[in-house]
Structure 1
Amino acid sequence: MASQKVIDALNNQLQMEFFSEYFYMSMEAYFVENNLDGFANFFNVQVKEERDHAYKFFNYISRAGGKIVLQAIEKPKSDFESPLDVFESALEHEKLISNSIHELVDLAISEKDHTTSSFLRWFVDEQSEEEENMEKVVRKLRLLKNDPAGLLIIDQELAQRAYVPPVQNA
């Protein structure tokens, strides 16, 4: 069983994952409204992944003997200026989530909670991948400097992204 301190931190992370889902949904909406279906698809996949992440925490808290405490989800930013603004916001958010996961790992280690530390290892790897994916698109968008033809090429590229459910059981 995890300590109450760890359970509380896991519940906070659960809330952050649900916020991430909501945040990415606002980004998906931006692209739907701007008829960039490939970009919208990219964030639709993100929405599904964040829901998966939230449920991993939900299920783990239960398995660890903790009480699941659902918290309020604040309204996410939705007034984006450009595709670059969206992806820079997403990258900044992923860095925030990565930092939170790292703090959770540190807490689990300090509490000598090896089971939770092991559970979190998947998230450490996942966050590295998430940041890399966002950074790649940010670099491409910066290179374009608002070139419409280039934007449509990236849109077509992002339309190919498919949702793949996570492998780890949680």
Structure 2
Amino acid sequence: MEILRIKPVEMENSQIHQNYDRDCEALINKMINLELFAGYTYTSMAHYFKRDDVALPGFAKFFKKNSEEEREHAEKFMELQNKRGGRIVLQDIKKPDRDMWGNGLIAMQCALQLEKNINQALLDLHKVASEKGDPHLCDFLETHYLNEQVEAIKKLGDHITNLSKMDAGNNRMAEYLFDKHTLDS
């Protein structure tokens, strides 16, 4: 009895691949993984704040929305990869750096660092695309990602400032009021 052998699929060049450097293609695959990791991390945060012993629905809603946005970003990169004739190579998604997010201030600080990391990866990709003479990819990043990243970083920074002013890291009532009046509105 012969065992069914599956022949590995070889990467064939696309007939539509044009002015799309392999370095850019590889970096797009890294961005897909980073966006999925961010979505995974935000999902962890959202469900942490939904726990019965944490019970902060505004934080849960905020992080769930961020999770959905990050997954949409990954999808948009995958669509671009196919439109440009690149090949999508999915990698393992790293688990979030923690399972317990402490309080809202700590979670917002972690989210800010995550968004800064994504922003830097986007800027690095933009630089490579520019160096490789890929105006389409530069425009794509500028149109769909870079401004949105700046806005997300600003919003997180504002939340961290307000939570810090309220001493929400040490004051659960302040954290509850921020959850109720800022995030759940």
TM over 0.5: same fold? yes
- The one-letter amino acid of 1:5's match is D
Structure 2: distance between partners of 1:80 and 1:148: 14
Moved over 4 A (4+): none
2:184 is matched with which residue? 159
1:166 is matched with which residue? none
Higher relative contact order (CA 8 A, sep 6+): 1
1:125 is matched with which residue? 147
Mapping for residues 15-94 of structure 1, pairs under 5 Å = 15-33=33-51, 34-76=54-96, 77-94=98-115
Question: How far is 1:64 from its partner?
Answer: 0.8
Structure 2: distance between partners of 1:49 and 1:25: 11
Structure 2: distance between partners of 1:39 and 1:57: 27
Please state if 1:115 is matched with 2:136. Answer: yes
User: What do residues 93-152 of structure 1 show as CA deviations (whole Å, max 9, x unaligned)?
Assistant: 110000000000000000000000100002110110110111111111111213333222
Structure ranking higher in helix proportion: 1
Structure number with larger C-alpha Rg: 2
2:160 is matched with which residue? 138
| TM-score, structure 2 normalization | 0.83
Match of residue 14, structure 1, among 32, 35, 40: 32
2:12 is matched with which residue? none
Q: Structure 1: which 5+ runs fail to align?
A: 161-170
Q: Secondary structure at the match of 2:85?
A: coil
- The one-letter amino acid of 1:158's match is L
User: What do residues 10-61 of structure 1 show as CA deviations (whole Å, max 9, x unaligned)?
Assistant: 0000000000000001111221111000110000110111111111101001
Mean Cα deviation higher: 19-28 or 78-87: 78-87
Structure 1: distance between partners of 2:47 and 2:165: 24
Question: How far is 1:153 from its partner?
Answer: 2.1
RMSD: 1.0
Please state if 1:98 is matched with 2:116. Answer: no
